[in-house]
């Protein structure tokens, strides 16, 4: 059996990840990021005149992941607590003798692994954000196309009052856009890590500051003002942004799953051949909704782990640092999968306006009770109006009870009552809110 090198390669991993995101999270990808860090370190120290240029180039030449075995490095890591030490040993053996003394010069294992994981995250967020852009565009189209599609709004699990599907989609859209903004900011701010053994870069003498700047530049990352070995704010910002995106996608997935229930039937997921059951041939399960919801349930635990590990002792942590690696990769994995599935779900979502109207009319005008009370209040006062409408709402037919109530009819004509019971007249600023959400996205350029 071929060993799994990517989170999407396994029996279950493909249900929670996205192949293009997971390709950046695989063992070879992490290994290549570590080697990219070693190459950048060699070149940065050469720039500063610390390492001979020929030695730096010889080191960089050997920094190719295909020359090393990730599984073997992982086994060897058990002896030292991290995979950098055995990698440095193999890299040193691979370079010409004249360059061996300069491998990993001035750095510590945490510098390499922290910066490598920054590279992995930045690279994985490229395809993840591309999926998010697709989801944003799909949500915007749904909001625009259904700006005035009337439907039931539900609060505390119950039918409440009229709203529009456009407003619901605009809410989805706004959540995704806000999450995207935070994630873009967190990605752009992920810094290189270089501090040496205790964060002083003593091995570089007075050239330490220059080396850190050149090191970050070679990697295309922003430099850090000082090492962040036990100051883990970059990871916390990233974890919070990923967790927020999972919440935004999870909210959409939960709504879709509820709206797709047979008893509601207001939307359905698209996709031919998807959603089948092993036992019940008639079923068409909302698979993307289910899997995105599952990812959103996993997110808080992973985010919490990264926050829990962030309180670290002195200059280098014993255990807290080590506890971050897999939860960070897992969080990127599940967020990538959730975002890709959210994009697919929204792109193919089937909206059923006729069913929305049927559900809205099913209670014979009861959802317009607030509108009727508002019509009565100027004449009889708010409290009396509320009591009159509450009394009518207790009858089998709300509309018939209003028409038969002399106290109501004394103040509302047939026309006025009909207008009060028309959902389109009780949508408030729903349309304007949709327009506002769409305008915000257009102004942001996508």
Catalytic center residues: 277, 316
Phi-psi region of 109 (alpha: psi -120 to 50; beta: other; left: phi over 0): alpha
C-alpha span between 252 and 177 (Å, rounded)? 13
Q: Output 264 or 9, whichever has higher pLDDT.
A: 264
Residue 6, in any domain of the structure: no
> Quick one: pLDDT band at residue 113, thresholds 50, 70, 90?
very high
**Region 244-262 average pLDDT:** 97
Q: Where are the alpha helices (DSSP H) in 260-352?
A: 287-308, 325-347
Average pLDDT (181-201) is 97
The stretch 141-168 carries a mean pLDDT of: 97
- Per-residue pLDDT, 442: 87
Q: Report pLDDT for 444.
A: 77
384 CB-side CA count, 13 A: 10
Q: What are the start-end ranges of the E strands in 70-169?
A: 150-155, 158-164
Mean pLDDT of 359-366: 93
* Band of residue 282 on the pLDDT scale cut at 50, 70, 90: low
Q: What is the mean pLDDT of residues 413-420?
A: 93
At residue 436, does pLDDT exceed 70? yes
> For residue 348, is it within any domain?
yes
| Domain co-membership, 263 together with 282 | yes
> Binning pLDDT at 50, 70 and 90, where does residue 218 land?
very high
Are 49 and 142 members of one domain? yes
| Structural tokens at position 118 | 């920054």
Q: How much is the pLDDT for 285?
A: 81
Q: What is the pLDDT of residue 410?
A: 94
Q: Does 20 map to a domain?
A: yes
Question: Same structural domain for residues 147 and 269?
Answer: yes
Question: CA 369 to CA 389: how far, in whole Å?
Answer: 6
Q: Is the pLDDT of residue 283 over 80?
A: no
- Residue 78 in tokens: 């058990």
Distance, CA of 138 to CA of 130 (rounded, Å): 13
Closest CA to 127 of 16, 237, 22: 22
Domain assignment present for 444: no
Tokens read off for 12: 């279950």
Q: Check which CATH number belongs to the domain holding 132 and give it.
A: 1.20.200.10
From 332, 356, 380, give the residue that closes a domain.
356
Q: Which structural domain range is residue 197 located in?
A: 13-356
Q: What is the dihedral of CA 177, 182, 187, 193, to 10 degrees?
A: -170
**Parallel, antiparallel, or unpaired: how do β-strands 350-351 and 267-268 relate?**
antiparallel
CA torsion 104-110-113-119 (nearest 10°) is: -100
CA nearest neighbour of 61 among 9, 118, 103, 22: 103
How far apart are the C-alpha atoms of 235 and 325, rounded to whole Å? 10
| pLDDT on residue 1 | 33
CB neighbour list of residue 384: distance below 8 Å, 6 or more residues apart: 376
Q: What is the pLDDT of residues 367-414, one digit of tens each?
A: 999 999 999 999 999 999 999 999 999 999 999 999 999 999 999 999
The pLDDT, as a whole number, for residue 422 is: 94
Closest CA to 345 of 442, 254, 438, 281: 254
- Paired residues of 286 in beta bridges: none
Residue 279: pLDDT band (50, 70, 90) is: very low
Are 88 and 59 a contacting pair, CB within 8 Å?
A: no
Q: If you average pLDDT over residues 267-279, what whole number do you get? A: 67
Residue 328: φ, ψ to 5°: -65, -45
Distance CA 254, CA 46 (A): 54
Percentage of the chain exceeding pLDDT 90? 91
Mean of per-residue pLDDT scores for the chain? 94
The whole-angstrom distance between residue 169's C-alpha and the CA centroid of its chain comes to 17
> Residue 62, SS3?
coil
pLDDT band at 178 (very low <50, low <70, confident <90, very high): very high
| Alpha carbon distance 25, 323 (integer Å) | 17
Say whether pLDDT at 276 is over 70: no
Band (310; pLDDT cuts 50, 70, 90)? very high
Residue 348, burial from CB neighbour count under 10 angstroms (0-12, 13-18, 19+): middle
pLDDT of 443 reads: 85
According to the model, what pLDDT value does residue 221 have? Answer: 98
Average pLDDT in the 264-286 region? 69
Number of domain units in the chain: 2
**Does residue 275 have a pLDDT over 60?**
no
**How many angstroms separate the CA atoms of 395 and 225, rounded?**
70
Would residue 5 count as lying in a domain? no
Question: What is the pLDDT, as a whole number, of residue 14?
Answer: 86
Q: Which helix (H) or strand (E) holds 179?
A: helix 165-188
- Same domain? For 329 and 304 the reply is yes
Do 386 and 312 sit in the same domain of this protein? no
- For residue 126, is it within any domain? yes
């Amino acid at each position: 059996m071929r060993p799994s090198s990517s989170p999407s390669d396994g029996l279950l991993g493909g249900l929670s990840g996205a192949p293009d995101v997971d390709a950046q999270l695989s063992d070879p990808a992490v290994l290549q990021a570590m080697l990219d860090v070693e190459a950048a370190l060699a070149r940065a120290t050469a720039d500063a005149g610390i390492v001979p240029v020929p030695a730096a180039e010889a080191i960089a030449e050997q920094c190719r992941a295909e020359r090393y075995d990730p599984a073997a490095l992982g086994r060897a890591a058990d002896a030292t607590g991290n995979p950098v030490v055995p990698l440095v040993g193999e890299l040193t053996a691979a370079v010409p003798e004249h360059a061996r003394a300069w491998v990993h010069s001035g750095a510590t294992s945490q510098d390499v692994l922290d910066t490598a994981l920054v590279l992995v995250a930045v690279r994985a967020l490229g395809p993840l954000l591309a999926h998010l852009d697709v989801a944003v565009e799909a949500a915007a189209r749904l909001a625009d196309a259904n700006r005035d599609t009337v439907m039931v709004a539900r609060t505390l699990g119950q039918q409440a009052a009229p709203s529009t599907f456009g407003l619901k989609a605009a809410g989805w859209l706004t959540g995704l856009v806000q999450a995207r903004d935070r994630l873009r900011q967190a990605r752009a701010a992920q810094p290189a890590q270089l501090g040496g053994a205790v964060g002083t870069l003593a091995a570089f003498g007075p050239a330490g500051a220059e080396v850190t700047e050149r090191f970050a530049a070679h990697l295309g990352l922003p430099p850090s003002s000082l090492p962040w070995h036990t100051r883990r704010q970059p990871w916390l910002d990233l974890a919070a942004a990923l967790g927020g995106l999972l919440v935004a996608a999870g909210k959409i997935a939960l709504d879709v799953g509820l709206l797709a229930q047979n008893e509601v039937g207001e939307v359905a997921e698209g996709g031919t051949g998807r959603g089948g059951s092993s036992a019940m041939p008639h079923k068409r399960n909302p698979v993307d909704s289910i899997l995105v919801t599952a990812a959103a349930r996993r997110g808080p635990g992973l985010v919490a782990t990264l926050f829990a590990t962030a309180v670290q002792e002195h200059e280098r942590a014993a255990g807290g640092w080590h506890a971050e690696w897999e939860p960070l990769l897992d969080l990127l994995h599940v967020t990538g999968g959730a975002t890709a599935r959210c994009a697919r779900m929204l792109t193919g979502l089937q909206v059923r306006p006729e069913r929305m109207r049927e559900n809205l009319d099913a209670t014979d005008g009861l959802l317009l009770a607030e509108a009727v009370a508002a019509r009565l209040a100027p004449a009889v006062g708010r409290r009396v109006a509320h009591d009159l409408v509450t009394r009518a709402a207790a009858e089998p037919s709300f509309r018939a009870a209003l028409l038969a109530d002399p106290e109501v009819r004394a103040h509302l004509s047939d026309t006025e009552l009909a207008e009060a019971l028309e959902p389109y007249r009780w949508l408030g600023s729903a349309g304007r809110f949709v327009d506002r959400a769409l305008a915000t996205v257009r102004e942001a350029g996508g």
